[in-house]
Chain A
Amino acid sequence: MSVTKKVLVVALLALFATTAAATLPSAAGSAPTAAQRVAATGCTSSKGSIMYGIAGAGVSQLDPNTINFAGQAPLQTLLYNGLTRYDRNMDVVPDLATSWSSSADLKTWWFNLRKDVKYSSGRQFTADDVRANILRVLDPKVPSQQRANAKDIRSVRALNPYRLRIKLGSPSALLPNALVDIKMSDTSDVANLAKSGTGTGPYKVSDFVPNQSLTLVPNPFHFGGKACLQKIQFVREPDPTAMVTDFRAGNLDMIWQVRPTDVAALQSGGTYFLQPKGVSGAHVWELDTTSPPFDDVRARQALSYAIDRVTMNKAAFSGLATPSLGNSLISATSSAYNKKLKPYTFNLAKAKQLFDAAGVKPGTTFTFWALAGRRDEWITMAQILQQDLEKIGLNLSIQRSDVSTWLSKFFPAGKKYPNTIIGNYFSMPPNPTFAMKQGQFGSCECNWKNNTFELWAAKAPGVKDLTERQKVYDTMQQIFSAYAPVMVIAHQTNIVAVQKRVSNAWEDAQGNVHLEEAKVSG
Chain B
Amino acid sequence: MSNAPEVVSLEGPGLERRESAGWRLLRRPQAALAGLVVGLIVAATIGAPLFAPYAPTATDYDRLFGAPSWAHPFGTDELGRDILTRVLYGGQTSLTVAAAATAIAMLLGVVWGFVAAFREGWIGEILMRVADTVMALPVILLGLVLVAAFGASILNLIIILGLLFAPATARLARSTLLVELRSEYYVAAVSVGASSWRIVARELLPNALPVLLARASLVVAEAIFVEASLSFVGLGVQPPETSWGTLLNQGYSNLYSSYSYPIFPGIVILVAVLALNILGDNLQKVLDPARS
**Residues of A bordering B, CB below 8 Å:** 239-241, 244-245, 261-262, 264-265, 311, 314-315, 371-374, 376, 379-380, 382-384, 386-387, 397-402, 404-405
Contacts and interface: CB of A to CB of B under 8 A. Distances in A.
* Most chain A CB neighbours (cut-off 10 Å) among B59, B239, B252, B255: B239
B196 interface: no
Contacts of A372: 152, 233-235
9 contacts: A239-B252, A240-B253, A241-B252, A262-B257, A383-B239, A386-B240, A398-B238, A398-B239, A404-B148
Contacts of A402: 148, 235
B79 A380 contact: yes
A391 B61 CA distance: 17
Contacts of A386: 239-240
B79 A401 contact: no
A373 B256 CA distance: 17
B78 interface: yes
A314 B152 CA distance: 29
Interface string B254-270: 11110000000000000
A85 B63 CA distance: 46
A373 B238 contact: no
A207 B249 CA distance: 33
B151 A399 contact: yes
The 9 closest A-B pairs by CB, nearest first: A372-B234, A265-B256, A373-B234, A398-B239, A261-B257, A262-B256, A241-B255, A398-B238, A372-B235
A371 B57 CA distance: 21
A245 B151 CA distance: 31
Contacts of A379: 239
B142 interface: no
Contacts of A241: 252-256
B107 interface: no
A261 to B, nearest CB: 5
A261 B255 CA distance: 10
A311 B238 contact: no
Contacts of B238: 397-400
Contacts of B78: 261, 315, 380
Contacts of A399: 151-152, 238
Contact of B256 (A261, A400, A404): A261
A239 B256 contact: no
Interface string B118-154: 0000000000000000000000000000001001100
A311 B61 contact: yes
Nearest to A248: B256
Given A314-B64, A398-B240, A401-B235, 9 more contacts: A261-B254, A262-B256, A315-B64, A315-B78, A376-B253, A380-B78, A380-B79, A383-B79, A384-B59
A397 B238 CA distance: 8
Given A261-B78, A373-B233, A376-B253, A400 B152 contact: yes
A264 B65 CA distance: 13
A265 B258 CA distance: 10
A264 B233 contact: no
Contacts of B235: 372-373, 400-402
B105 to A, nearest CB: 25
B60 to A, nearest CB: 10
A58 to B, nearest CB: 16
A402 B144 CA distance: 10
Contacts of B152: 372, 399-401
B252 A401 contact: no
A373 B232 CA distance: 8
A244 B79 CA distance: 22
A315 B61 contact: yes
A372 B252 CA distance: 15
A120 to B, nearest CB: 38
A405 B59 contact: no
Contact of A405 (B148, B252, B254): B148
Interface in B236-292: 238-240, 250, 252-257
A244 B253 CA distance: 11
A5 to B, nearest CB: 62
A272 B234 CA distance: 31
Contacts of B233: 372-373
A309 to B, nearest CB: 13
A427 B64 CA distance: 29
A242 to B, nearest CB: 9
Contacts of A382: 239
A387 B257 contact: no
A373 B59 CA distance: 23
Contacts of B255: 241, 245
Contacts of A401: 148, 151-152, 235
Contacts of B256: 241, 244, 261-262, 264-265
Contacts of A376: 250, 253-254
Nearest to B62: A314
Nearest to B254: A261
A264 B257 contact: yes
A138 B203 CA distance: 75
Contact of B59 (A265, A387, A400): A387
Contact of A314 (B61, B148, B151, B257): B61
A2 B210 CA distance: 112
Contacts of A384: 59, 79
Nearest to B59: A387
A405 B78 CA distance: 27
A446 B78 CA distance: 30
A405 B240 CA distance: 21
A241 B151 CA distance: 26
A265 B151 CA distance: 35
A383 B240 contact: yes
A240 to B, nearest CB: 7
Nearest to A399: B238
Contacts of B240: 383, 386, 398
Nearest to A372: B234
A45 B281 CA distance: 66
Contacts of B250: 376
B61 A239 contact: no
Contacts of B239: 379, 382-383, 386, 398, 400
A502 B233 CA distance: 33
Nearest to A240: B253
Contacts of A245: 255
Contacts of A244: 256
B246 to A, nearest CB: 10
A401 B147 CA distance: 9
B30 to A, nearest CB: 36
A245 B259 CA distance: 13
A382 B79 CA distance: 11
Interface string B42-72: 0000000000000001010100100000000
Contacts of B151: 399, 401
Interface centre among B59, B152, B234 (most CB of A within 10 A): B234
Contacts of B234: 371-374, 400
